A and B are shown apart, each in its own frame.
Chain A
Amino acid sequence: NAGVTQTPKFQVLKTGQSMTLQCAQDMNHNSMYWYRQDPGMGLRLIYYSASEGTTDKGEVPNGYNVSRLNKREFSLRLESAAPSQTSVYFCASRKESVGENTIYFGEGSWLTVV
């Protein structure tokens, strides 16, 4: 049982390049999330998807796009990377049901934009 798997783990981009962070979960969860974590800022929600086919903006969506390809996969795309997007990115999933409130995180993706 892999849980939440995200790739790549490390990536260096040049300003203006594009890339996609991939995320997949094998727990049959409905909700999936992308967070970024910067020093002293905690985790901030970029986008989330409450179910397959739906996506919504979180606190810091500018510069990002997402795709909920199917129930398992939720990808995050940077169309034109900027140094301000240097961060650690975490994908997460949650089962939406009574009594189930736990968010499960992937291992993180360290992104540096130079």
Chain B
Amino acid sequence: QKEVEQNSGPLSVPEGAIASLNCTYSDRGSQSFFWYRQYSGKSPELIMSIYSNGDKEDGRFTAQLNKASQYVSLLIRDSQPSDSATYLCAVRARQLTFGSGTQLTVLP
């Protein structure tokens, strides 16, 4: 089992819709959880971090964490074509471990 698994893509949503990205992790000692966005040919950039159970909202982005289920998700409301990218889930236990990413395409 991979330490961090993301829902397989690619994922396509129409402009204005909600995009839902999911991630599960195996290490129950994980304390910090992150979502990175990576445009093609570019480096990852941090868009959300979450440390406690529940929801955390930042503009159109909402991160949700459920430590009991070892599950973290990212919701993107009112999706825009500029949100088209690969989204990487990352989980920190002893080190930061990344999932393989989910490619999101927002269709105009």
- Physical interaction between A and B: yes
Residues of A within 8 A of B (CB): 33, 35, 40-45, 48, 58-59, 90, 101-103, 105-108
The answer to whether A42 touches B99 (Cβ under 8 A) is yes
B92 close to A40 (CB less than 8 A): no
* Most A Cβ at <10 Å: residue of B44, B46, B90: B44
The reply to whether B96 and A105 form a contact with Cβ atoms under 8 Å apart is: no
Q: How large is the interface on B (under 10, 10 to 19, 20 to 34, 35 or more residues)?
A: 10 to 19
Nearest-CB distance from A40 to chain B (Å)? 6
A42 lies within 8 A of B98 (CB) = yes
Chain B residues, CB < 8 A from A44: 98
B91-105: CB near A (< 8 Å → 1, else 0) gives 010011111110000
Distance to closest chain A CB from B23 (angstroms): 11
CA distance A106 to B42 in the complex (A): 9
Known: A48-B95, A101-B32. A40 touches B100 (CB 8 A): yes
- Cβ contacts A to B, 22 pairs, < 8 Å: A33-B96, A35-B98, A42-B4, A42-B98, A43-B44, A43-B90, A44-B98, A45-B95, A45-B96, A48-B95, A59-B97, A90-B43, A101-B32, A101-B34, A101-B49, A101-B92, A102-B46, A102-B49, A103-B46, A105-B45, A106-B43, A108-B42
Is B72 part of the binding interface, using a Cβ–Cβ cutoff of 8 Å? no
Q: Which residues of B contact A45 (CB under 8 A)?
A: 95-97
B49 to chain A, nearest CB (A): 6
Greatest chain A CB density within 10 A among B34, B90, B101 is at B101
Known: A42-B4, A45-B96. 7 other contacts (CB 8 A): A43-B98, A48-B95, A90-B44, A101-B34, A101-B49, A103-B46, A105-B45
Q: In angstroms, how far is the closest chain A Cβ from the Cβ of B32?
A: 5
Chain B residue contacts of A48, Cβ below 8 A = 95
Known contacts A41-B100, A42-B101, A45-B95; is A107 also within 8 Å of B88 by CB? no
> Please, which residue of chain B has its CB at the minimum distance from the CB of A108?
B43
Q: Give complex CA distance A70, B52 in Å.
A: 35
